[in-house]
Structure 1
Amino acid sequence: MAWQHFRNPTNRIGHDDTIPEPLLVKKVARTVLREHSFAAVDITLSAERALQLRKLILQAQDQAEEIAGSGWFVSDRSGLDPIVYAKVYASGSGAAEMLETASWVRLREKMRNAAVFVCEAGPKWLTDNGVRLMPRDDEDWTSLHGIFCKVLRDSEIEFTIVSKEMTDLSE
């Protein structure tokens, strides 16, 4: 996992061993799925249920990052994820509503002051785990990637695209 990379002080900013290892914010969506009895299939079968799930995930991400505090942390998702998925699987108006929430405003500010990485569509290392919503094909995946990048730009959040060819974490 990416955050394990930072356990080694030489991999931290300036190779500074006085900088602590990051806190971890992970499995937020899976926790929400489990706690609220959602299944991955719910996301594609009901726009209403998909939007409900995405709103819960946005709130949970905000809470998880609040618990992480003001120190540095690594998160396997962002507050943007549920908004983009709401736009794709629920409704544009639902996603627009989420962009106006206090949770998104807080998360957006944190992202504006963070290093944000977006994995390019199509990496070989992403596999179906029975919970993850997988794209149907390369076109679907490329479209989703484009929406992520557009919403980041529209939200004035700088980001770096990680090439789908990159498989070595040290890169």
Structure 2
Amino acid sequence: LYFGGIWGGQLQKYRDNRFDAAHEEPAGDAPALGPRVGRLDTRMTGLAEPTREVLILDEHGQPLRADDHARRFFEGPWLHKHQGRYYLSYSTGDTHLLCYAIGDSPYGPFTYAGVILQPVVGWTTHHSICAFGGQWYLFYHDAVLSGGVTHLRSVKCTPLHMAPDGSIRTIDPYGA
């Protein structure tokens, strides 16, 4: 189970599996927060283990920095498996990107790999990814039909192009 988000999701206040109202979001070159992960119990009604933070690394093997708003995790974690590797995708929040990172374990660490979706009309970029009939799809939402009212969202679906090397082609939601 993956969960967490900063700001409204309060992840910045939830460290070491405890809530502390005094905690703030990291800033500057401090390591960015990652989502939390924990294995569900066999009944899928609770956790079989304590949750832990997921580490997202840059191309040099260093944790993404808190001030790297174009790549750091903000909210909406999703995990899928492709060609034996795990893909963690997530929203960057205030830069409105949907990004992904790749790892060899569902617990990470994951290495940042790129942008899946360019910004959409509206604030959030919540999503899911699945394969159906031999094709991968990205499900997300935007606020085009409401004229940009961010809480009035419309579901979108588009093919996701996975390259033979495992990379994902960036999608421009309104262009080519």
Calculate the TM-score normalised by the size of structure 1.
0.30
* Structure with the higher strand share, 1 or 2: 2
* Structure with the higher helix share, 1 or 2: 1
By relative contact order (CA 8 Å, sep 6+), the higher-ranking structure is: 1
